[in-house]
Structure 1
Amino acid sequence: MGQYQRLLLIINPTLRQSPAIPHAGALATASGATLHIVALVKSLHILALLEEGNRATARAAYLKDQDDWLHDQAQRLRASGIEVTAETAWSDDLERDILDHVTEWQPDLLIKQVQHESLLKRTFFTPLDWHLLRHCPVPIYLVGAQGHALPRKIVAAIDTATDSPQRNELNERIIQQAERLALQCDAELHLLVASDISAEFLGDAGGGGLMLGELTLQLRRDLERSFQRSANHFSVPSERRHFIKGGPVKVLAEFAHQHQIDVIVMGRNQSSGLEKLIGSTTEHVLYQASCSVLAV
């Protein structure tokens, strides 16, 4: 039995070339999971210009068109052996409706296509995907624009900068999720840490008389040792261990592009303070990396 038994896919039915359905279908096939697809349709403001009777007729016809298309997609998945159910509904509050469906269906994984927002819009409004990363109670698989529907290369991105029990537990969950996904999909698993030792961090660390360069080297060695212990614990081959200098977002985006990674598995924490305003590493990777992201 695979690690996923119930998958919930949320789609925008107007994006009919979305890769989300093939990705969900491939994961369902690999894991033997059931798949429930929910097409949430945003209200059409232009319908408000019509007379009330015409408006109701137009709404019903529009929703039926989307529902007919969705059930055709579901039937194609059933023909390939997947147990699929599907529904179409209007939505005036996407975050609330998605989380309500998560509560109702209790999936092992929520699947959704990444919804790209411009930098200007992100400055004033928190993107829907960021809200889901912060509030969804189950792991989220956010489908990117590129990558194989059934992953062939997966990278687990962990953080060894702190040695707290909470951080260690999250790192272990990230690696376990990535390892299980890789086994299920017969994919290649990589482990990565981005080492970004800033001057501000060094200033707080204290050096016991060490010069700045010596302290930087000592800290980096400590981080790498911690990384190697994690890699040894999960028996990651040496050629698939990557300890890279640089900021996490830039490092992950470039690594995913250069190595044709299909999925980055990352952790997500409750955001607070400045991070809640500007977004976490995982949230920003959504817009920098073109592959999919599995947030644990």
Structure 2
Amino acid sequence: MTLYPKVLVVLDPSVAEQKALKRAVELAKLQDCQLTAFLSIYDFSYEMTTMLSGEERESMRQAVISDREMWISELIDEYKEQGLNIAIQVVWHNRPFEAIVQAVLEKDYSLVIKGTHDHDVLKSMIFTPTDWHILRKCPCPVLLVKDHEWPEHGNIVAAVNAGSEQSHHSSLNQRIIQQSKQLAALLNSRVQLVNAFPGTPVNIAIEIPEFNPQEYNQTMKTHHLEAVHKLALEFELPSAQTHVLEGMPEDVIPKLAQQLDAEMVVIGTIGRTGLSAAIIGNTAEHVIDRLDCDVLAVKPAGFVCPLAKQ
């Protein structure tokens, strides 16, 4: 059974190296899948040309689209000669993330692959980049590709929140580990299960004299150790490949990924949007900027895309 039968590969004409396409090709050589090289383009000046009729503006847009299709054809020629199945889709849309999500909804893609880069933290909270929109709204898994290569016999870090009893976290844990194990089998890698737990809140220790921080910390650690052990047993993962570490996920996960030279971190995102996303953010988003390896973001079961037509 193919893990990702239909893959949407998002291209970026502003860069020389199409790392998303390169990664998609690596994946396609390991499993039989249909790749679609996708590009969303828009030029506001074409919409403002009032001297032209609607038909003439449409003709100009199609000329730009055709030019981009030729560019993509040249990009994928060598891969098609190798026997890979790669389609081309270029759309005219002023919001790239909407174009990507709509393509997923319309053609039921099983994975989106997109190159990414480090985002300024302040800007990412005020002006949400395309990557964050896709992470929050895309119904299928999203693989964000960085420059780090996939090492042979590497490690895939499955980042879980085992200590939570909330249903959406439980659902995400299941999906994260399932995806990690399937990818590990495909890439001949090992799954490393990681769970971060918070340390003793300093304000409580100060404000409540009788509060015992050591006892609290040990209780918290024991709770998370037991929860991770249960998950590891369920998915037949050896204890040597489990890591329960004190600290915030955005600190713990990147540090472990670097220590293990991980090729990928698999993480869940609940798709928070609106003001809560701007103020609180998603754990996945805080983690991604600190990683130098690929990130696969998955949604919980039953996720409803906010862009889906009612």
Using the size of structure 1 for normalisation, the TM-score is 0.86
What is the CA–CA distance in structure 1 between the aligned matches of 2:183 and 2:63, rounded to whole Å? 40
User: 1:18: which partner in 2?
Assistant: 18
Moved more, 28-37 or 73-82: 73-82
Partner of 2:157, secondary structure, is strand
Match of 2:160 in 1: 158
Greater mean alpha carbon deviation, residues 190-199 or residues 174-183: 190-199
Q: Is the 8 A contact 1:109 1:138 kept in 2?
A: yes
Instruction: Map 1:84-233 to 2 at 5 A.
Output: 84-148=86-150, 152-199=154-201, 211-233=212-234
In 1, Cα distance between equivalents of 2:151 and 2:8: 16
CA distance in 1 between counterparts of 2:271 and 2:62 reads 39
Instruction: Write the distance in 2 (CA, Å) between the matches of 1:70 and 1:149.
Output: 28
Structure 2: gaps spanning 5 or more residues: 299-310
Q: Deviations over 1:173-215 (max 9, x none)?
A: 1100110111112122211111223417978xx9xx8723212
Q: State the shift of 1:62 in Å.
A: 5.6
Mapped to 1, the partners of 2:99 and 2:223 lie a distance apart of: 45
For 1:193, give the aligned amino acid.
Answer: N
Q: For 1:149 and 1:140, how far apart are their aligned partners in 2?
A: 20
Asked if structure 1 preserves the Cα contact closer than 8 Å seen for 2:197 and 2:244, the reply is yes
Which residue of 1 is the match for residue 290 of structure 2? Answer: 288
Check whether the contact 1:74–1:86 (CA below 8 A) recurs between aligned residues. no
Say what the alpha-carbon RMSD is for the aligned residues.
3.0
Query: 1:76: Cα distance to partner?
Result: 1.9
Partner of 1:32 in structure 2? 32
Structure 2 residue identity aligned to 1:185: L
Residues 23 and 150 in structure 1, CA contact (< 8 A), matched pair in contact too? no
Q: Who is 2:254 aligned against? A: 253
Of 222-231 and 163-172, more deviation after overlay is shown by: 163-172
C-alpha distance in 2 between matches for 1:151 and 1:85: 31
Q: Secondary structure at the match of 2:4?
A: coil
Question: Deviation of residue 5 (structure 1)?
Answer: 0.9
Confirm or deny: 8 A CA contact 1:26 1:150 kept in the other structure: no
Distance 2:171 2:202 in 1: 26
Tell me if the contact between 1:130 and 1:279 (Cα under 8 Å) persists in the aligned partners.
no
- Per the alignment, in what secondary structure is the counterpart of residue 292 of structure 2? coil
1:119–1:211: structure 2 CA closer, same or farther, 3 Å change rule? closer
Structure 1 counterpart of 2:259, one-letter code: Q
Shift of 1:85: 0.4
Taking a change above 3 Å as real, the CA distance of residues 130 and 10 of structure 1, as seen in their structure-2 partners, is same
Structure 1 residues without counterparts, runs of 5 or longer = none
How many residues of Structure 1 are paired with residues of Structure 2 in the alignment?
A: 292
Q: Relative to structure 1, is the Cα distance of residues 94 and 151 closer, same or farther in structure 2, using a 3 angstrom cutoff?
A: farther
SS of the equivalent of 1:288 reads coil
Q: Distance in 1 between matches of 2:44 and 2:118?
A: 20
What is the percentage of aligned positions where both structures have the same residue? 26
